[in-house]
Amino acid sequence: MATTCDPMAAVAPFRFDNSFARDLQGFYVRQRPAVVPAPRLLFLNESLAHELGLDLASLDGPARAALFAGNTLPDGAEPLAQAYAGHQFGGFAPRLGDGRALLLGEVIDRQGRRRDIAFKGSGRTPFARGGDGKAAVGPMLREVLVGEAMHALGIPTTRALAVAATGEPVYREHALPGAVLTRVAASHIRVGTFEYHAFRGDIERLRKLAEYTIARHDPSLLATPRPFLALLQSAAERHAALVAQWMNVGFIHGVMNTDNMAMSGETIDYGPCAFMEAYDPTAVFSSIDRRARYAFGNQPDIACWNLGCLAQSLLPLLSADAEQAVAMATEVIAAFPARYRRHLLQGQRSKLGLGRGEPDDDSADVALAEDWLILLQAGRVDFTLGWRRLADAAAGDEAPLRALFVDPRVPDAWLARWRARCASESVGAAHDPAIAGLERAKAMRSVSPIVIARNHRVEEALAAASDQGDLAPFQRLLIALGRPYDEAPELAPYALPAPAEVTARYRTFCGT
Ligand code: AMP
Ligand code: MG
């Protein structure tokens, strides 16, 4: 039976406090979610629900499904579609906005953090242009898997709270089962949100947005002499750190348009993303990224380019003197590559089992890390396993690492350099080299995962869920992805790379 939006069926699992709706009138359009024929809950993130302090206990299965499919609007929700612009593959689109997403509101979680609760796939909005406003089960479950994998890796990310099937088909190349995702984010303010108002020359709105963003993400900056410049610096710092983390786990976002770059510094919009297998900076999986703009190795430059768009948008707020504004913005952007390299090296040092650098001179460690990556690339070694087997080498067993190379002697010279560098510092209090090696290996295994969201595993899980309605492979994979550093026998199947031919043919799609 069709469920309808029944105002009598009040549910109050969220304690909403909607600052965006309240403070930023004119930055959005109010819109109710579409009513769907047959809601069915496919996924509920119980631990995230707990973290958010949600009260779901009083809701039975059908009530939860109606809630997360958008049929029952929870008390206090003020659904709205946000306006934003964006540079997509380098070209400016002045009016994008939430075409199929709605911000329901914000909650304060148990740790006192303000978090957005938003739908994706909940029907058309005034920003939908030619789109149907809908989403399919496969891409929404994909967002669950990859987002939870990133979260378990300690990488800032939006997270999936729930996925509900809608019981209606969505038409892409084929008819696919439809779904609504409920997404949790530190906020949904994007670089493109600033571009939207800057493009329209609406300085007052731009200032309001900047003040709101600072209050929400960097309140301490409000008291500094130049808060808007500090906002730009803070965005640069967050993205330098974020992209360095991506690069150190082999994550390819796939569609780093400025509308997909969150001011909070969280990874957002898991569309054609993928984890790299054999190390290759030119790796691209997205079917729409024909010119390889968003290839793995380009990601730091693209983050910098996107921050340039943010800087450009913020210019009118930086100084009344246009030349001075440009000089200040340029300084921040010019400093980004060094900022990024610092974060990258910090992560690489941990992965190499090195606790600290040489005082005032990073060049030897930079070269050590670069030469390691050159080795992996030349040998087409699996990036994840390469790092992980290096930890085994630290523990005294080099065989698993050597086995990743066609000629096991290839890493000899590099290993000798690395060992010498390791010997130059002792981990913890251990003086016995064997104990120091074990401690180093343990530290390395806590930062280099063994289980990542392998593309063939993700596809297998999504195909079973979408084509056969079988959620078991998805659930098993989700559990494995929650334990990325555990080298447990039951997780072993999730640690293996896909056969090289599969990876060579692998393409991801935008999921629209
Ligand atoms: P994305 O590629 O998902 O980041 O989306 C880029 C833009 O296209 C955003 O403005 C989305 O809201 C919009 N969009 C994507 N898919 C759809 C859809 N099925 N219906 C309406 N708008 C969409
Ligand atoms: Mg997007």
pLDDT digits (tens, 9 = 90+) for 14-44: 999 999 999 999 999 999 999 999 999 999 9
Looking only at the bridges linking them, the beta strands covering 135-136 and 114-120 are: unpaired
Q: Which atom of ligand 1 lies nearest, measured to the CA of 170? A: 19
Query: How many whole angstroms from 424 Cα to the centroid of ligand 2?
Result: 47
Residues recognised as catalytic: 259
pLDDT at 8: 47
pLDDT at 430: 59
Q: Is 188 in the pocket of ligand 1 (CB under 6 A)?
A: no
Query: How many whole angstroms from 269 Cα to the centroid of ligand 2?
Result: 5
pLDDT at 374: 98
Q: Is 70 in the pocket of ligand 1 (CB under 6 A)?
A: no
Q: Is 0.95 topped by the overall pTM?
A: yes
Q: Is 97 in the pocket of ligand 1 (CB under 6 A)?
A: yes
Residue with the smallest CA separation from ligand 1 atom 16 is 512
Residue 430's SS3 state is coil
State the sign of the Cα–Cα–Cα–Cα dihedral 93, 95, 99, 102: positive
Give the span between the Cα atoms of 329 and 334, in whole angstroms: 9
Question: Which of 102, 267, 512 is the pocket-test mutation for ligand 1 (most atoms within 8 Å of CB)?
Answer: 512
Query: How many whole angstroms from 473 Cα to the centroid of ligand 2?
Result: 27
Query: How many whole angstroms from 370 Cα to the centroid of ligand 2?
Result: 33
pLDDT at residue 10 is higher than 80:
no
Question: Which of 89, 100, 190, 306 is the pocket-test mutation for ligand 1 (most atoms within 8 Å of CB)?
Answer: 100
Query: How many whole angstroms from 108 Cα to the centroid of ligand 1?
Result: 28
Q: Which ligand is nearest to the CA of 181?
A: 1
DSSP states of 262-311 as a string?
BTT--B---SS-EE-SB--TT---BTT-TT-TT-GGGHHHHHHHHHHHHH
Q: Which atom of ligand 1 lies nearest, measured to the CA of 98? A: 12
Report the candidate in 114, 345, 328 with the shortest Cα–Cα distance to residue 233.
Answer: 328
- State the pLDDT confidence band at 2, using cuts at 50, 70 and 90: very low
pLDDT in tens, 425-478: 865 555 788 889 999 999 999 999 999 999 999 999 999 999 999 999 999 999
Q: Is 99 in the pocket of ligand 1 (CB under 6 A)?
A: yes
- State the pLDDT confidence band at 355, using cuts at 50, 70 and 90: confident
Q: What is the mean pLDDT of residues 71-87?
A: 98
The rounded mean pLDDT for the chain is 95
Residue with the smallest CA separation from ligand 1 atom 10 is 96
Q: Is 159 in the pocket of ligand 1 (CB under 6 A)?
A: no
Alpha-carbon 251 to chain mean position: 9
Query: How many whole angstroms from 510 Cα to the centroid of ligand 2?
Result: 10
% of residues, the chain, pLDDT over 70: 96
Q: Is 271 in the pocket of ligand 1 (CB under 6 A)?
A: yes
pLDDT at 7: 47
pLDDT at 422: 94
Do residues 135 and 124 lie in contact, with contact meaning Cβ atoms separated by under 8 Å?
no
Phi, psi of 311 (to 5 degrees): -60, -45
Residue with the smallest CA separation from ligand 1 atom 23 is 99
What are the extents of the domains in the chain? 10-188, 226-350, 352-445, 455-504
Q: Which ligand is nearest to the CA of 98?
A: 1
pLDDT at 52: 98
Q: Is 118 in the pocket of ligand 1 (CB under 6 A)?
A: no
Report the candidate in 469, 459, 510 with the shortest Cα–Cα distance to residue 179.
Answer: 469
